[in-house]
Structure 1
Amino acid sequence: MSLGKHHRLWVPFIFTVWSVVMIVSMFGNREAHAAGIAMSLPNSSFEEEGASIPNWNTHPTFGTSTATVSNVRAYTGSKSMKMVDASSSSSLARVSDKISISPTEQIAYTASAYAYIEQGSVEVYLVFYNGTTETRVPPASVTPTVDQWNKRTITAEAPAGATEVAVMIYSGLASITTAYIDDISIGKTVKNPGFETADLTGNWTVSGAASSTTAKNGGAYSLKLDDASSLAASYAESSNVPVTSNARVSAAAKVYIASGNTEVSMHLLFKNATGTVIKEVENTFSGTTLQWIPLTISATTPNVTGAKTVSVYFTTKTTAVTVAYVDDVTLDTPIEYNLGTQIVNNPLDGAVFGKDASSSYDLMYVGSSGYPSKFVVYDARTGELLDDHDLDQIEAVWGMTVASDQSVYLGTANKRALYRYVPGTVSVNGGVKTITGSSLQKTTLDAGLNVIWDVTAGSSGNVYGGTATDGKAFLYNPTSGATVLNGNQAIVSGLAHVRSIAYGSDTEVFMGMGPTSNATIIRFNPTTGTQSTISPSGYGSTYVLGLDYIPNGSDSKLFAKLSSEPLIVINPTTGGVDASLGNVDSIGVSSKHPTDDKVYYTKGTHLYVYDISAKTQTDLGDVGGKAAGYTFVTEAGNTYLYAALSSGKILKYKLGATPIIDTSISFTIPDSPTKIRSLVKGPGDRIYTSGYLRGGLSVYQPDTGKLTRNRGAGQAENMTTIGNNLYLGIYPGAWIKKYDTNSSWNDTTNPSLLFQDIAGSPNYQDRPFGMLADPASNRLYVGSVASSGKLSGSFTVYDLTTSTRVTTVPDIVDDQSIIALAYKNNKVYGGSSVYGGIGSTANPSVTEGKVFTWQTTSSNSLPVPQFVPVAGRKVISDLIVGPDGNIWGIAEGNSSTDPSRNLTADLFIFDPNNPDAAHTTIYANKFTSSGNVSWQGGKMVVGRDGNVYVTNGGKLYAVDASSTTKDAVMLVSTGVSLLTADANGDLYYVKYETNLYKYDK
């Protein structure tokens, strides 16, 4: 809604303004560009605040109602400007500081802002100043979209003599408004970009071109390019816009080719002070469209003395008679937007129970993965939250235990971090419980103890822990600190993980080791360092995922959760197995009941009890969730089992002739951001992200800014799409799932399971990094990394029409993982990594990543054709079809032949008709690399402007595909990973692990 509609006294003035200033307004969805060649606008995203809003001023005419800096919403960063106009008889405005402009520049100015409107309307004005004379340029009237971020823009030329410009954000006289404003920009752009001034004289230089009303994308006019013959091209060139050297510039337009099967090209012409072109870049569209299509182009201003201006130039070719239309031209400085955290989770990683410092209150402690992970303390009987801690830069809490001194210990997934929580005293004030006097302390263990898989409490306040990646265990005492056991050596040479640990006595600690070919438990004496092996035969488990030691006199037991699924009950003295309990999915088992010879656990949502003496189990009924931790509590002479359930309930169970199941008490784990693991453009031109460790699938809609967060589905290592379906490759177990985006999300049925990549020995698979869909054949291609301890990846072809697996080729590249796939002309090209699953040791003879070829329409003989595209490189991290029709790839990983190249990555390009080393061109050391890449490294996408965009080593690059040397320009210098693009050609990537960023080109 415009000022003219709501502020009736200003109607005559607006008509006057319209008559003296040429105006082009662009007021559409958030993807409208018109940011212009950026000019500095202080505090444009309202991250600074003070007594007023720094650099934003009230307007004497339009009222001074409430406007403040708010942290409730933000398009980027953490703050925005909140505007509250509660009156229908007054207005509200804020005006930016003035920016100096040159009256002699023959350009237009464009302003934009992101608005989240809860009610009412806000508008963006350009305000020009000539001394004390103020000229306000209003936007076109639009119907506001509420409850989502929208980009609001306006473009206009300055009136004669104007020397300053500002941006005004306005809420009209009759409008009752609540809105948030963020990321305001102002810039310089070409004159008459929408061709709404029909006379092109003075703003476009044309030949065989004119304004037209026949076809237009917006407004009433467009530019018509009309070749009267095939001998002369038609062209149009915009006004010149000032630029600085070494600055990125993008242009976009909509093009409609009405006749002629030829080309329309869009150029950026960089010029010096005399108007001589010193650099020209071009993007061309070929073919008759009969519809409006976007055409974009990006380039960097030459870093040479004398680079002064840039213009946008359109031309047809002389090979055919052509009629084409151009509309809505934009010229921009690309802007990087932080779209924020996409995925949040609050999983119940584990729970333990203890007492507060006064021993008066039973406490429940919960660990929850995220980035950062959470440690939360509750009243175990009521579920009230008493304490909440972020574990900075920690991804997950793997192990928890309560020591004999009632301290709580947390073993974490990274940073070698062991936490000790000393509980304080619970008190009640005004009916509200608080805990005071608590402390959380962090100990960083020695190098090599990178992942603390499990912790267990011993005597005298001691705690034992099992770690990776050096296969070591430690003893921690709050007074003397950490001591690495076994003389600072691995518990078992060659086994990288002490995956689980249980305390039996000061001379007997049990450790579940891996990876192995059969379940292996080490009985270790911390005093003498002696050890022996318990290895139940016939289970074929790579790991012992969990261990619980249940003291029971001469009939003590070990409960061992195996990676091959069963929970087995072991006699630790003989090593014999008393029972094999299938489908147990709880986190561990309870301690022995205080008066009965029984242990509790869950399967699905059912509570079970195991009778140690009888060696039998009994289903006790549905409790509504799986258990993550247990304790026994005595109330009024009765003993109750308490358990923290995945459903967010606290189970209170009384064993007896009439059992009581009480799940009436709830607890809530605070949400925490989740790292982004994979990123794709999926159905509906939406941006899909999947979460690391605890999964979750979030959906960002570029056209509306709406973010939808779905929980569950698992951690997708990669995703791909056909039509309305998104296909997810889930870790662990290489589960391939289909999400029908036209149907409601339901973690149990949608996404649905299609198949599991090789699940049987010896080719267990875990991580489907290679995900490729071919719409023409309706087939899915999957390349995967093997499970822990295994080397051989696999390649699978799945027919989506018949829902059948066509073939699976184990070890298609000997002892290598398959992590990248591309399709061209009935062939799939796969890229490999010499690195296998976690804990595997690379085959010494396998030192270089390879590319293989798979025929999709004819039979394949094994071994399939394969070659090393770049000598010495260990990982082929990505493959795509480039803009030239060739296959482009990234080769990286520590070089086996030249260590000086360890921190770089190579671009290579080969002819798909001749996929071999002889037909491969290598552009060495083209990008920065982290060097320690194993599975997930650089990513590429072809831009609508013909450039290839690359993320690698935390940086974003643009590669000029048309140059013979494939020149690369760094666009973003730090924190970047993954990459995709939307239909407009704007780029999306992950930055700093959890946030989705947009590079608005």
Structure 2
Amino acid sequence: MKRKILTLVTIFPLFLSLGQPSVFAEEIDAGTPVEQEDIENIEDQETPETEINEDEVEVVEEINKNISLVGPQVFQTSALTAAAGSDELGNSYMYFVMHGTPSALAVVDMNTNELKHTYTLSKSTSAWGLDVDEDGTVWVGGTTDGNVYSYNPNTDEFHDHGNMLTLPKDTAIQDIDAVDGIVFGSTAYGGSVFKYDSSTGELENFGQALYKKEFAKSIAYDQEADVLYVGVGSKADLVKIDLKTKKKTAFLPNEYKDDKYVRDIKFIGDKIFARMDPSNRLVAFDKETLEVTDEIELNSRTISLISPTEEAIYYSKENSLYKYDLNTKEHINLNVSLLKGTELLNLDFAELNDPNYPGTTLVGLIDNAGNVFKYNLETGYNEITKMELPAQPVTLYTMIQDEKRENIFINGYMSGGLAIYNPKTNQSTLHKDISQIESMTIMGDKLYIGAYPRARVLELDLTKPWGPMNPREIMRLGEFGQERSTAITAVPKLNKVFVGTYPETSIGGGALAIYDLKENKQEVYENYIYNQSLVSFLHHKEFIYGGTSIHANYQVNERGARFFRFRPDWPEEKEYIHLPIEASMITSIIADKNDTIWAMADGTLVSYNPETKEIKTKQILDLISGRFRNAKIIEGIDGNIYGTVEGRLFKADPKTLDIEILVKEGANEIAQDAEGNLYYRNQADLWKYTFPTEEAEKK
């Protein structure tokens, strides 16, 4: 059902600072930590094998001489998660997983707050599984290849134990639990559970934790009973796996199954505590009966284990530290505030060599910027310390060139950041204080940005310095159940910005949102294309052209992706353009200088003549991957169509649709400079493709 909403919009400022390439500014939104959900798109989806139509597509060989490395563009200091531990001498450390390409494990001495070591987690762009074993060894479970790593503070030895993923659908480790050198792990997107014995090197996979559940989000091992507990999604369930009998028992009550995941599992005495997500409920179960015994509302990502000094656990709620008495079931607000807008991401106990912290101290990470909270159980003394953590190059994501092809705007994946690269000077200006960007468009001197999360829309004035009100937030569509602003275009004549979204929590498909820059008003049309996401927009002459994805709300629409258009001043009336092919998504739409409309429909290049209604298609690949990002096309200075799809950089003749593959792998997104050179991203690096001159070809 479509609902049109007209509201007067309040402008939300983003408090930002000017960044330089060599200066690493602070993380933007301390209250919005980078979550595992942030990686659930094309970069970490299962990627089917793709095939080139060899009979129809010319593959250009020996192209290495035409490409050159420009290098990383976005660097961020972003701690995804943390855990505290100690060595055999009693020295306390905090271990941070740093987001990057590759990621890193940072070891910080908790007594001096100094960085002791940084270890590269090769083959991982992030890591969420983190646990400290009884002997002090810290274990890390990574993505995207599912490697397990360990660091022993007693010997200063770091090891990469290799890839633990053995099932075809698995691409990432979600959580781990380490006991006496044995690591239990849970995975996505196969939703399986494995056991790795580090002393023997033996690896065993127990298969999918629960039938048809793609995410085995959390895991905990009960050593006494030889039982695994696994939190799965989506939607949420909780599974008990008896490792002796291999019997699986799902026991989450129906009232909790509307949650997306069971995020975290802890054993406290004879109880199992499971953290629901996103409802912020902590549910306690009796180990024997598996019945619910208690429920707690909280905001922290997890809870502490039982206190070594009393029968209590700790958590945070509404920016404050709480204690929960397990005997009296009393919730005590300790009136200890965290940084504004933050909550505890992990909680551990440590013993510090500091007179301000006698006995046991509660420690925890509160944001991605590396702010660590300390609270002494004996004295109540507390403070927040910003750790100096190492910045890492991050995977590049969205790219766009300006209208004169003088600058290329490049966004960082997950932890965000926006680099503005000047091809003439080969210099970049990096602004760190902006989140992941799903879409960008330029209108005059303004860059309009579709930002993640909560489907925000930002306006960046390119004539003004980066600062507290530049960029400014003009829309936020999270209240409509939208999470990603995946399509964006602007209409100068109307002074309006049009945004299409990818929903994650709403019922139905993506929304069409229109922002009137003069009146500061927005219109929102929910479920604009029934049960599909809006993933590509183009304004050309009197129409806005759009493309959809069949993926919405983690559901798949049985009807194929839609290609459509509407008049900007009459969005209620849309016209469908029926393609002669079936596609799961239409990811990029452009118009060339002859007013032909071009689009990528899965692995097929499509041309549409608005005057004659003639449609031509040329298949480049048989199979594609992902939900809303797998291809991008532009019109080159020379009039040819250039694009990337599934890692291939290609050139298309607009008259014959003949295709040349210029780069066969590792090419994503595309932009072009004023000299005609092409640029694409591959992981954290920007690459340049230079067309050979006649002299070079003669050689």
Structural RMSD (CA): 3.2
Of the three residues 359, 362, 367, the one matched with 2:92 is 362
Alpha-carbon deviations, 1:269-315, whole Å to 9, x = none?
xxxxxxxxxxxxxxxxxxxxxxxxxxxxxxx9xxxxxxxxxxxxxxx
Q: Give the number of the structure whose alpha-carbon radius of gyration is greater.
A: 1
**1:707 alignment partner in structure 2:** 428
Structure-2 change in CA distance of 1:995 and 1:654 (3 Å): same
Q: 1:471/1:539 Cα in 2 relative to 1: closer, same or farther (>3 Å)?
A: closer
The letter of the residue matching 2:166 is D
CA contact (8 A) 2:231 2:264 kept: yes
The one-letter code matched in structure 1 to 2:72 is: T
**1:598 aligns to what?**
312
The yes-or-no answer on 1:560 pairing with 2:275 is yes
What residue is the counterpart of 2:410 in the other structure? 689
Distance in 2, matches of 1:796 and 1:852, equals: 16
Distance 1:874 1:645 in 2: 39
Structure 1 residues 580 and 336 mapped into 2: Cα distance closer, same or farther (>3 Å)? same
Where 1:783 maps in the other structure, the secondary structure is strand
CA drift of 1:415 comes to 1.0
- Give the corresponding residue for 2:672: 981
What is the CA-CA distance between 1:819 and the residue it aligns to? 1.5
- The CA deviation at 1:605 is 6.1
Q: Which residue of 1 aligns with 2:74?
A: 343
Q: CA deviation at 1:907?
A: 2.4
Matched, 1:908 2:629: no
Aligned residue number for residue 234 of structure 2: 515
Specify whether residues 933 and 552 from structure 1 end up closer, same or farther in structure 2 by C-alpha distance, changes over 3 A only: closer
Counterpart amino acid of residue 490 in structure 2: A
Q: Which residue of 2 aligns with 1:921?
A: 615
Question: Residue 939 of structure 1 is aligned with which of 614, 617, 632?
Answer: 632
Give distance in 2, aligned partners of 1:752 and 1:597: 48
Report the equivalent of 1:803: 520
Structure 1 pair 405/870, CA: closer, same or farther in 2 (3 Å)?
A: farther
1:394 to 110, 124, 133: 124
Aligned mates of 1:874, 1:859 — CA distance in 2: 23
1:991 aligns with 2:681: yes
For 2:305 and 2:174, the matched residues in 1 are separated by 20
Equivalence map 1:483-502=2 (5 Å): 483-485=204-206, 488=207, 490-502=208-220
Q: CA deviation at 1:394?
A: 0.9
SS in 2 for 1:770: strand
Residue 527 and residue 795 in structure 1: after superposition, are their counterparts in 2 closer, same or farther (change >3 A)?
farther
AA aligned opposite 2:239? I
Offset, 1:396: 0.3
Matched position secondary structure for 1:695: coil
Assess if the C-alpha contact under 8 Å between 1:906 and 1:922 holds in 2.
no
Secondary structure of 1:537 counterpart: helix
For the residue of structure 2 that corresponds to 1:718, the secondary structure is: strand
After superposition, the Cα gap between the structure-2 partners of 1:509 and 1:788, relative to the gap in structure 1 and judged at 3 Å, is farther
Paired position in structure 2 for 1:472: 192
Match of 2:570 in 1: 858
Q: Between the two structures, name the one with larger relative contact order (CA 8 Å, sep ≥ 6).
A: 2
The answer to whether residue 605 in structure 2 is matched with residue 884 in structure 1 is no
Secondary structure, in 3 states, of the residue corresponding to 1:638? coil
Rate the CA distance shift 1:360–1:542 in 2: closer, same or farther, 3 A. closer
1:673 aligns with 2:393: yes
Q: Is the CA contact (8 Å cut-off) linking 1:503 and 1:549 kept in structure 2?
A: no
- In 2, Cα distance between equivalents of 1:754 and 1:397: 33
Structure 1 residues 439 and 739, CA gap change in structure 2 (3 angstroms): same
CA contact (8 A) 2:102 2:123 kept: yes
Pairing partner for 2:485 from 768, 772, 775: 768
Aligned to 2:556: 842
DSSP 3-state at the match of 1:820: strand
Shift of 1:939: 1.6
> Taking structure 1 as reference, are residues 561 and 721 closer, same or farther at Cα in structure 2, changes over 3 Å only?
farther
Distance 2:581 2:372 in 1: 58
How much has 1:594 moved relative to structure 2? 0.9
The one-letter code of the counterpart of 1:882 is D
Change (3 A) 1:626 1:986: farther
Q: Distance in 2 between matches of 1:789 and 1:940?
A: 30
The corresponding residue for 1:227 is none
- The alpha-carbon deviation at position 337 of structure 1 amounts to 4.8
Distance 2:428 2:314 in 1: 41
**Residues 869 and 476 of structure 1: is their aligned pair in 2 closer, same or farther, counting only changes over 3 Å?**
same
Match of residue 149, structure 2, among 419, 422, 440: 419
The amino acid that maps onto 1:353 is A
Q: Say whether the 8 Å CA contact 2:170–2:187 is kept in structure 1.
A: yes
| 2:511 alignment partner, one of 785, 794, 819 | 794
Aligned to 2:331: 616
Residue 322 of structure 2 contacts residue 331 of structure 2 at CA under 8 Å; is this kept in 1?
no
**2 CA distance for matches of 1:616 and 1:749?**
40
Cα displacement string for residues 772-831 of structure 1 (whole angstroms, at most 9, x for unaligned residues): 12222122222233328987333333323333322323050x443322111223221111
Closer/same/farther in 2, CA of residues 559 and 482 from structure 1, 3 Å limit: same
TM-score normalised according to structure 2 size: 0.79
Which residue type is aligned with residue 162 of structure 2? K
Amino acid at match of 1:514: G
**Gaps spanning 5+ residues in structure 1: where?**
1-146, 149-299, 301-333, 426-434, 893-904
Which of 360, 380, 399 does residue 659 from structure 1 map onto?
A: 380
| CA shift for structure 1 position 935 | 1.9
The 1:589/1:744 distance shift into structure 2, 3 A limit, reads: farther
Q: Measured at CA, do residues 782 and 907 of structure 1 come closer, stay the same or move farther in structure 2, by a change above 3 Å?
A: same
Q: Which residue of 1 aligns with 2:36?
A: none
Question: How many percent of aligned residue pairs carry the same amino acid?
Answer: 23
Give unpaired runs (5+ residues) of structure 2: 1-20, 23-57, 59-64, 692-699
CA distance in structure 2 between the partners assigned to 1:683 and 1:881 by the alignment: 14
Q: Give the Cα separation in 1 of the matches to 2:240 and 2:598.
A: 52
1:345 to partner: Cα distance:
1.5
Q: Residue 589 in 1 paired to residue 303 in 2?
A: yes
User: Which amino acid is the alignment partner of residue 638 of structure 2?
Assistant: D
Q: Displacement, 1:609?
A: 3.4
Tell me, yes or no, if the aligned pair for 2:634 and 2:643 is still in contact at 8 Å. yes
Tell me: CA distance 1:463–1:859, structure 2 relative to 1, closer, same or farther (3 Å): closer
Whole-Å separation in 2 of the counterparts to 1:599 and 1:752: 41
Query: Is the 8 Å Cα contact of residues 448 and 460 (structure 2) preserved in structure 1?
Result: yes
1:934 to 1:642, Cα distance in 2 relative to 1, 3 A: closer
2:216 partner letter: V
1:542 to 241, 260, 263: 260
